[in-house]
Structure 1
Amino acid sequence: MASPLGRCGALAGEIHVSSADRTRQTLEVIDAALPRLGLVERVHVDDALYTFRGDALREWLKALPADAARVLVIGHNPALIELARWLCPELPASFPTGSLVHLRLPDGAWRSVTPRSAEWVASLSPAEVSYDIFQPEAPATKEPGGIHLPERAALQLEHQYQLIRELEPGVIAGFDPEFLHQYRVNLRRSRAIGESVLAAVKVPGLRKGLKRLKRRAQATSDLRDLDVFLASLSQQRPLLAPRVQPALQAWLSSRRDVEHQALCEQLASEAYAREKLVWGRFLASGSFRKALRKLTRKRVQTVLTEQVAQHDRSLASITVASPDEALHDLRKGVKRIRYLAELDPERHRDLLSSLRQRQNLLGNFQDLCTWQAWVGEFAAELDGDSDQRAGLNGWLAELGQQKQALRERLMGERQLHSSNA
């Protein structure tokens, strides 16, 4: 929670900590993560905060000096949540350990604070900040063994729907890019499975839902690309002029902030809430389950064979002069084949292994194209000397060479084979 506390300004004012060992250790860990802030030297350790009674915390709060404009309290429940709900009844009745609640009070002396006088600005839990913490809380996928194909497709779509809803708070918080990645993956996987089902059987109402999923996934595209590029930039450290690298990083971060804000506005909209409610109800409907009963291994195999043949024809047509879009289309086709094969994974184990390897190659090519576009756009806006532009042009040329090497490798790939066993 150290980085979120710092970014939201919680550490900018006075810091008051209970005298309990665990609360002081909490601050010490935050201080170790943010050593430049000197938190341990600024902290006020107070025995009065070592309480589990909300009324005792109210008395402590009202005794704060008037010049304390911003206060962070690290204390104990149920006292903290009782105090918070006394100030702002709209708050939930509980928060996970390690959570942050940000309240804003009206101007005036602390002693004059009254019930219901606070505005709920924000709240944040560790599971919204770190995907590693969130992950165990995600719904478990049911074991596919012994499950009929229609039931498996329904379970996968329901599981992905639940994951999408569970991931939304982490996406909005925006501290761990993995939330966005998993959110995007589950949107696209849901759409791909739905399209696979639709290719094999007729399901009334499914196509409309898939169009909405496609639109939501597209809204995450640039943001995800920016996350990947920023992570790569910090790891690879390309040889650019000293002022260019941080300028590029700042430019990308600014673009990311704009994209993230736009996505948050979408997720908070009434239209989005209605859309997700409709999709969830559709997946749980009897009519959807009834239509899925027509999904058979034979139908899936027929569609899969057609898609593999189309992929092989597209792969055979790739040349050194093929446009980048041809390889992007190839990547989309591979994903469609993979998701269709995953409806019957035991039968298509070898095919799925080949598909994952090929998808990684095509994904790497896609990343290089995206990075090339971002660097080119940044270079066009850069007000710098010729050396700075030369460094960027050199990097663009290197990215082009990497793309060409991947293109040639893909041209040497073998054709896929769909099992008919």
Structure 2
Amino acid sequence: MRHLYVMRHAKAKQPSGDMTDHQRPLRKWGKRQAGAMARVLQGWHALEGEIYVSTAARTRETFDAVVAQLPKRTLADQVHFEEALYIFDGDALLEWLKALPDKAERVLIIGHNPALSDLARWLNKEAPYSLPTGSVLHFTMPDTSWSAMERGCAELVGSLVPEEASYPLFKRFAPTPPEYQEDMARRIGDMLEYQCRMVRALEPGVIAGFDVEFLHQYRVNLRRSRAVGESLLSVAKVSGLKKMLKRLKHLGQATSDLRDLDVFLKYQSTSPPPLSARAHQGLKQWLQGCQQAQYQALCQQLSTPEYTEQLQSWQTFIASDEFKEALSTITPKRINKVLDKRIFHQNEDLAALSLDSPDTALHKLRKHVKRIRYLADLNPNTPMTFLSTLKHRQSLLGEYQDLCTRQTWLEAFIESLDSDAEQKRECSSWYASLEVSKQTLHKEVLGLAPLAS
């Protein structure tokens, strides 16, 4: 099977003065685009074969920006700068491609539109009509000679733009956050609609899987929507909302293990555990295997009609007149009344804690702190000092939960080791040291002062 990758150069400057089109360099944004696609090209194995680059400044600089992100790898023996690729006609590009030597089984072309998009459509009619700057398409073809290619002979197996590969690039085109509204009902409605738009906008980046921040933000916006909805239920009667929140909870739960695995793997990288190299590597590979399985399950969920229907139903629900009418009944007084009750129960739970309290007691405390915080966020007049106190408390309890999660995954890994007694011993010793860290945090939680609104 042959593999063909076509990449359009990244965003370039417009010609000025005596500058020719051939001399146009990349913009700063273009260099960021090209750099972001280095992981994509590497992940798709596009850099393992022959690389053909137009001699134009903007295509050469696109290649250079990719290489700059791969300091441990040299591509000097694979790259060919071709004057013939400085073309804009699809038929001419096709003739060039058909003349490639048959020994070239994997080929990357960095060139120009509309030649690339015309070629892509000739290879497969499902290919996009236009390629944005910095984007890449991946085709597979039968293992016949390049000269024997026929229209529609290729399968499009990958299509990605830089803004789906890099969250920092995505942010430039992300939905615009709503402006601050004094009217509480309008403020809450705008917040929920924005979070829903963000969830939908983040989906391509989540599925692409090259920047985990897409998944993090996707999860955050889902969970915030659910938290705001639960806060609304505590202060007003909103018909149908409880059913909708169950759906959001289900969608959010599909990301929980992925989030925990990502946090654990990052912790391993930044704070190497007290394990031998062999045990460390074994645990890392096992966690990555679990992560991949969870990721594939999530991507399958995002591609189902049921998922699309659920989010569309939520979007329709929060835009409905009935929902907006329910929002209009919410007042700061009603929020503060419920808030006072939650703070009272939170302080009771905190006072009942002891060093012998189980992990579940602290997890319950964390959930209640989150509910207090999201409820307090509904009122724009909530003091910032109070919100800061909640944020600190939530962070402390979150750190405790992360330690518990590490223990859970570590315990599962130990069970998977079968007869490897040495690795079991090492991991069990680390498990015990995590328990010591938990006790330190437990004491810090016991020292927290009662909340005061």
Q: Are positions 1:246 and 2:247 aligned together?
A: no
Contact 1:28 1:40 in 2 (8 A): no
Alpha-carbon RMSD across the aligned residues, in angstroms, is: 1.7
Matches within 5 A, 1:9-408: 9-144=45-180, 146-382=181-417, 386-408=421-443
1:410 aligns with 2:445: yes
Letter in 2 for 1:68: A
Task: Quote the Cα distance in structure 1 between the aligned partners of 2:369 and 2:446.
Answer: 15
Q: Secondary structure at the match of 2:295?
A: helix
Deviation at 1:22, TM superposition (A): 2.5
Helix, strand or coil at the partner of 1:71? strand
> CA offset at residue 284 of structure 1?
1.4
* 1:333 shift after superposition: 1.0
1:297-346 Cα offsets, whole Å, 9 max, x none, are: 11111111111111111111111111111111111111111111111133
Moved more, 25-34 or 178-187: 25-34
CA distance in 2 between partners of 1:138 and 1:342 (Å): 23
Kindly state the Cα deviation for residue 36 of structure 1 after the two structures are TM-superposed.
Answer: 4.9
Q: 1:89, 1:388 → 2: CA distance? A: 53
Q: Distance in 2 between matches of 1:194 and 1:388?
A: 46
Which string of whole-angstrom CA distances, capped at 9 and with x for unpartnered residues, describes residues 331-380 of structure 1?
11111111111111333322211110001001100100001111122122
Cα distance in 1 for partners of 2:38, 2:282 equals: 26
Show structure 2 runs of 5+ residues with no match: 1-36
Task: Map Cα deviations across residues 371-399 of structure 1 (whole Å, 9 max, x no partner).
Answer: 11111221222257654333322211111
Distance 2:179 2:312 in 1: 26
Question: Which whole-Å CA distance do the structure 2 matches of 1:150 and 1:385 have between them?
Answer: 59
Question: What are the superposed Cα offsets for residues 272-301 of structure 1, whole Å, 9 maximum, x if unpaired?
Answer: 011111111112112211221111111111
* Counterpart residue type for residue 380 of structure 1: E
Q: Deviations over 1:218-252 (max 9, x none)?
A: 11111110001001100101221121111111111
Q: CA deviation at 1:38?
A: 2.9
Q: Distance in 2 between matches of 1:384 and 1:25?
A: 53
Q: Which amino acid aligns with 1:38?
A: T
2:378 counterpart SS class: coil
Unmatched tracts of structure 1, length 5 or more: none
- TM-score (ref. length: structure 2): 0.88
Deviation string 1:162-207 (CA, Å, 9 cap, x unpaired) is: 1101111111111211111111111110000011111111111111
Cα deviation, 1:41-94, whole Å, max 9, x if unaligned, reads 211211111112222212212222233222111111222122212222223333
Match of 2:76, SS?
helix
Determine if contact 2:255/2:298 at 8 Å carries over to the other structure.
yes
AA partner of residue 123 (structure 1)? S
Q: Distance in 2 between matches of 1:293 and 1:385?
A: 62
The CA distance in 2 between the partners of 1:151 and 1:35, in whole Å, is 50
In the superposition, the TM-score normalised over structure 1's length comes to 0.95
Q: Which amino acid aligns with 1:214?
A: K
Percent identity reads 50
Contact 2:113 2:131 in 1 (8 A): no
The answer to whether the 8 A contact 1:130-1:175 is kept is yes
Structure 1: distance between partners of 2:338 and 2:114: 58
8 Å CA contact 1:341, 1:348 repeated in 2: no
Amino acid at match of 2:182: I
Q: Is the 8 A contact 1:308 1:417 kept in 2?
A: yes
3-state SS, counterpart of residue 40 of structure 1 = coil
Q: 4+ residue runs of structure 1 moved beyond 4 angstroms?
A: 383-387
Say whether the 8 Å CA contact 2:49–2:78 is kept in structure 1: no
Residues matched between the structures, number: 417
* AA at the equivalent of 2:303: A
Q: CA deviation at 1:37?
A: 4.5
For residues 277 and 145 of structure 2, the distance between their equivalents in structure 1, rounded to whole angstroms, comes to 49
Q: Is the 8 A contact 1:153 1:343 kept in 2?
A: yes
